Chains A and B, each alone.
Chain A
Amino acid sequence: MMAARNNEAATSDAGQIAEMRRGRSSVSAALARLSHYVRSNSRYYAIWSLITLGYVGTFLAVPLLTGRVVEAITDQQPADAIVRLSLILAGVGVLGGILRYYSRVLVFNAARTIEYQIRADLFAHLQRLPQSFYFGWRTGDLMSRCVNDLNSVRMLLGPGLLSVVQTPILYIGALAVMFYMDWQLALLVLVPYPLFILLARAFGKSMYRWSIAVQEGLADLSNQLQETISGIAVVKTYAMEGVTRMRFGKANDALFRRHLKLVRISGAMPAITGLLPSMGMLIILWVGGSRILDGRMTTGDFFTFAMLIYQLTFPTFIMGWVFSLIQRGSAAMQRVDEVLATEPSIADRPDAVDLDDMRGEIEFRHLTFSYPGPVREPALCDITLTVPSGSTLGIVGPVGAGKSTLASVIPRLYEVEDGQLFIDGVDVNRLKILGLRSNIAMVPQDSFLFSMTLAENVAYGLPETDPKQVAVAVERAQLAKDLAELPHGLATVVGERGVMLSGGQRQRAALARALALDPRILILDDTLSSVDAATEQAIQRSLDEVFAGRTVVCISHRIGSVRDCDQIIVLEDGRISEQGTHAELLLAGGFYARTAREQALEEELDGIGEVA
């Protein structure tokens, strides 16, 4: 509990940002969206409602016909009359089964179809949302909406809707029949029901409370475990195993007790609901029995009553469950709606244009940029800079100075205000996103690879996996020599679930992916940090060759990577603090010069090691 609360406190800042970014959603908005999906499948639902009425007919006919057959038997009617009635009963029974089939399948399949539609819409929508959106949301949270919440919505539309529509009709029908047959007995049979509804609600509430308690117990246990594992080195060096075990044992016992409490309630529920038809039968036996003795009721009617009561058992039995389905489902739909209601802030404007042939000139005019969220220092402040077409720009600076942000606004990963950033003299906000991004290749810092083959990863931005283009890109990124080490060469599945590539290999794969695009502007965001110096030089040489005449923006913490750039800027606290060529900056004696000196010394040290 303690740890869970702390967690909240720690992430409250992120939470605030998230709140601000999230689309507002209310239950009514969520249900409006849901009903839009339902309407788009109205054909299914129309047929379904007809079939449901038919099914209710057979549901009532079976007990009625049973009563008639029993009456025929007790009246000692001729055999063929009994057989004829039985055949009708059999026919209605078969028809009921068939109608039941369609009733279930139609509504369940419609629910699956809507699940499919919402999932597709979610996926498409997520792809449209800008990077700033992903700041406020953790992946786990988004996943939970795409997986768990969608599941709850589907349960609401499937078993939930089926019961909510069907059960009242069944009840009304059954009551009508009973009242028609014997209204006094019908009233008596009804006596326990209001009581049960109250009981069921009370149980539902405390069941909800205890299942939350169990969830919290589980979370507590997870926290204990997580903490122990994260601190396993301390646990071991201080021989704390006994203590952590005791702590875990406490959480474990608490969870155990909560589970049992929950069972006490969830176990009582079916036992008590099971009593409902029993009480009905008791009344039928007692009151109905005395009426038979008085000759005011037939044995056939007795059978009809008994069977109606039995048939209502199951729909009644699951009502409590259905209520929780509805509750959970509508809350889940609201959470799904929060994502879908978020407007993508980076989108093509109506008057957006495409550059016919991008030259690759980048111009920043007094660009100031802040990340969304509570007021804080701007990440970039008053940046004015021109990168002429075909030139190279080097960016260095301490961690958190805004280097990556500066690179990310160029392909519009973040939105900048109008009039601050121009490509070929056109405001980026007036460019079509597709055209802009397909002319820019950026190699982000984290070199994320997808769980596909290496070849598919390299060809990620190409319309198809062309082996020739892949081979060229792999060669230029100096990845070709590594292929022999991989189990299946270019066909090796890499990424999250594939073969582990070394840090350097991943970076070079990400570089090859960018090179394969053959872009007008290439942005390297500290791309080669895990690549050894010799390979980096080889890459530089091949880049110089290929990208002669293209615009290159190169962020690096290694002076060696930027020294040959046409111009170099030093970013500190979101501002350009130094600007010039390598030689100029060395003379200036600022951050750049200091860093260059330190790195020269480090290299010298490494050199000694090599010799020794």
Chain B
Amino acid sequence: MSADSLHDEEELGKAVDRRMLARLWPYVRPYSWLFVADLLLFVPLFALELAPGWIIKHGLDSVFGGLESTDTAAQTLAIADFAGTWASSWLEPPGLFSALGWLALLYGVVSLALAGLQFVHMYMSAWLGQLAMRDLRTSVFDHIQKLHLGFFDRYPVGRLVTRATNDVENVAEMFSAGLVALVIDLVKMVGYAAILFAISWKLSLFTFAVVPLLAVAAVIFRLKVREAFRETRLRIARINAQIQETITGMKVVQLFTREDRNFSDFDEMNALNRDAWHRSNRWDGRLFSVVEVAQNLTVAIILGYGYGLAAIGTFYLFIDYMRRFFMPLRDLSAKYSVMQSSMAGAERIFELLDTEPAIVDRAAGADPIRAGSDARGTVVFDNVWFAYNSDATAGTPEWILQDLNFRVEPGEKVAFVGATGAGKTSLIKLLARLYEPQRGHIVLDGNLLADLPQTEIRRRVATVLQDVFLFSGTIEENIALGRDDLSMEQIVAAAKTVEAHAFIERLPDGYQTELRERGSNLSVGQRQLLSFARAVAHGADILVLDEATSSIDTETEVVIQRAVQKLMQGRTAIAIAHRLSTIQDMDRIYVLHKGRIQESGTHDELLALEGFYYRLYRLQYRAEQVRIQATA
């Protein structure tokens, strides 16, 4: 269990939240036929539950003939009389059967039918629930994919996964064990009461005398159970949070010899939790016992006061139906807690679904994509300001990029250099529209970036990010990344272009080699080559390349450098360079420092300037020397 799910457990609200139910309804609606069918099933199901008691009553009264029926017409409502006569007509044996044999046969058939129908009912509820949950999961997934990158900086992965898995499972419980069952139980209880009254209202009056008492007790006990239950949920969440925190910070705990005090704090909570559970158990036990006592008492009442009021078979019927009447009360608290965690799960899911994606395409049909005033492959940054934290907190934004202005013509190759934290990587994320600038514009091929649909941007700009992310799947899949229109030849060609073909061929299954988790069976250099192959295969006009910082051996580095050159051929290229040696023949170099462009020009121009670039170059050159010495 993850830490956040423990924390989430703290908030437990209502068991039946109409707002949540209304929001869940759209997921059930497509399957409303199933819903209706499941509800309709209730009628034969209830009839089949009533039948066994009736059969035995008939046996006791009419077949075994213990006593002549003393049911007086005055106590039996006309409708029950009519229904009773109709039902009894079924119980008269056809020619071939003895009276008892016929009843036994009927009893067997009814029992089997009941079992079968119960199964069908349960299956249909679960089917409905799972259909709805499958769709809910899909919505959660789709929604997560739509959210902009900044969202994921704040929301831990584990928590998002919990939304689509555990929380949805909790909601599904409601269908199989919660709400529907609760409603059906209630309807059944009313049904049993009504039928018993119809058969003998006088006997029913005696019998149901205990019910108001029971109801009052049940309401009080339930409240008490709920109170204790709520307390235990809160306490256990805090206990588990403390265990987790202590394990995570164990080094500090032991260094500061805090063990004894920690334990006494923990013990206090742990003991309170135990006591709350003891309380909860006692109230729950009372509820359980009261139901049992009521059940036993009704038997005594039926027999002790009812004799003379009805036939012996009617007594049996009363005892049987009263048992069924009381049955749902037993697991009321279990159902209640199922509902509660369902609702809490739904609440968390919808909270996520309510998070608006910050970066969306312009409304469809607003403006068709114009040809653009610039040629394909032009990138313009116009007064761009950007900060990660501007939407999260009020304070002053920490500008990562400030007043950035530059223009890259088609086919031009430019590089950005600067120390760590200068804002180079952020620039790339803006260009891929993973984030949006707070001020200024980015113009792509003469179109405002914000006006282009996201899929269109992805088509025009191929981005190679610094950390190469590989998906589980084959090498081929990791180059194609879902583009079905790429033929195997194109993929191989792309791999050849960046000199990845050779190493791929050496892998056990070539292009069909399954990558282990995140490609851990490949070297850093190989993974980079793969990410280059991706970019080539997707063939965009503009290449954006964030060079990896991680050091690789000199030999691989040479291969990668060649690959980068090939990659940039015939394209507009914007490269974030960490090694100055790689960018000496770029058309233009921008030096970024603290979010601003400090200098720009060709390598030679910048060196002649003896400014920032000059020093950076000197520093890197030395580091490079050190590295070469070290490896030598």
Contact = CB atoms under 8 A, between A and B. Distances in A.
A167 B256 CA distance: 52
Given A275-B115, A413-B251, A74 B257 contact: no
Nearest to B253: A127
Interface of A: 2-3, 6-7, 9-10, 62, 66, 69-70, 73-74, 79, 82-83, 85-87, 89-90, 92-94, 96-98, 100-101, 104-105, 108-109, 112-113, 115-116, 119-120, 123-124, 126-128, 131, 134, 139-140, 142-144, 146-148, 218, 221-223, 225-245, 248-249, 252-253, 255-256, 259-260, 263-264, 267-268, 270-272, 274-275, 278-279, 281-282, 285-286, 289-290, 292-293, 299, 302-303, 306-307, 310, 411, 413, 433-434, 437-438, 440-442, 444, 448, 450-451, 460-461, 495-497, 513, 517, 594, 597-598, 601-602, 604-606, 608-609, 612
B516 interface: yes
A289 B100 contact: yes
Contact of B112 (A127, A275, A413): A275
Interface in B38-71: 52, 55-56, 59-60, 63-64, 66-67
A229 B59 contact: no
B514 to A, nearest CB: 7
Contact of B281 (A108, A116, A249, A253): A108
A225 B458 contact: no
Contacts of B459: 239
A307 B241 CA distance: 49
Given A278-B111, A286-B103, 11 more contacts: A93-B299, A104-B285, A131-B251, A232-B145, A236-B434, A237-B463, A264-B123, A448-B248, A496-B3, A597-B622, A601-B619
19 contacts: A9-B517, A82-B303, A90-B304, A93-B295, A116-B271, A134-B247, A236-B458, A237-B463, A252-B137, A252-B138, A252-B141, A260-B123, A267-B126, A286-B107, A290-B100, A302-B60, A307-B319, A496-B3, A608-B612
B303 A66 contact: yes
B593 A448 contact: no
Contacts of A242: 482
Nearest to B108: A282
A285 B169 contact: no
A217 to B, nearest CB: 10
Given A143-B243, A235-B145, A253-B134, A112 B256 contact: no
Contacts of B282: 105, 109
A310 B316 CA distance: 12
B160 A70 contact: no
Contacts of A271: 115-116, 118-119, 122
Contacts of A245: 138, 141-142, 145
B130 interface: yes
Interface string B457-471: 011010101000101
B520 interface: yes
Interface in B142-161: 142, 144-145, 149, 152, 157, 160-161
Interface stretch (B73-81, B260-268, B347-355, B491-499): B260-268
Contact of A274 (B115, B267, B295): B115
A119 B6 CA distance: 16
Contacts of A444: 251-252, 255
Given A233-B469, A263-B122, A285-B55, A225 B622 contact: no
Contacts of B516: 6, 9-10
Contacts of B160: 225, 229
A70 B315 contact: yes
B481 A240 contact: yes
B267 to A, nearest CB: 6
A90 B296 contact: yes
A6 B66 CA distance: 73
A289 B58 CA distance: 11
A147 B2 CA distance: 11
Interface string B295-308: 11101110111010
Contacts of B119: 267-268, 271
A236 B436 CA distance: 14
Contacts of A120: 263, 266-267, 270
Contacts of B594: 609
Contacts of B607: none
A539 B165 CA distance: 48
A236 B615 contact: no
B104 interface: yes
B296 A62 contact: yes
A267 to B, nearest CB: 4
Top 3 A-B pairs, shortest CB-CB distance = A93-B296, A86-B304, A243-B482
B455 interface: yes
Contact of B56 (A144, A146, A281, A604): A281
A144 B288 CA distance: 31
Contacts of B469: 230-231, 233-234
A52 B319 CA distance: 25
B388 to A, nearest CB: 13
Contacts of B63: 289, 293
Contacts of A609: 593-594, 598
A438 B257 contact: yes
Given A239-B454, A263-B127, A293-B63, A140 B250 contact: no
B292 A256 contact: no
Interface string B475-491: 00000011000000000
Contacts of A255: 134
A73 B303 CA distance: 8
Interface string B337-360: 000000000000000000000000
Nearest to B244: A143
A438 B481 CA distance: 57
Given A3-B517, A608-B593, A82 B277 contact: no
B303 A450 contact: no
Contacts of B103: 285-286, 289
Given A62-B299, A70-B312, A612-B593, A239 B458 contact: yes
A461 B258 contact: yes
Nearest to A10: B517
B274 interface: yes
Given A140-B2, A229-B157, A240-B481, A605 B126 contact: no
A282 to B, nearest CB: 5
B278 interface: yes
B619 A286 contact: no
Contacts of B227: none
Given A100-B292, A249-B138, A448-B248, A292 B145 contact: no
B304 A87 contact: yes
B507 to A, nearest CB: 16
Given A285-B103, A289-B103, A598-B622, A605 B66 contact: no
Nearest to B429: A233
B465 A234 contact: yes
B616 A92 contact: no
A97 B293 contact: yes
Contact of B419 (A9, A82, A236, A605): A605
B361 to A, nearest CB: 12
A144 to B, nearest CB: 6
Contacts of B161: 222, 225-226, 229
Contacts of B454: 236, 239
Interface in B94-148: 100-101, 103-104, 107-108, 111-112, 114-116, 118-119, 122-123, 126-127, 130-131, 133-134, 137-138, 141-142, 144-145
B240 interface: yes
B149 A236 contact: yes
B534 interface: yes
A267 B131 CA distance: 17
Nearest to B290: A97
B426 interface: no
Contacts of A105: 281-282, 285
Among B246, B247, B300, B301, max chain A CB count under 10 A is at B300
Interface in B565-579: none
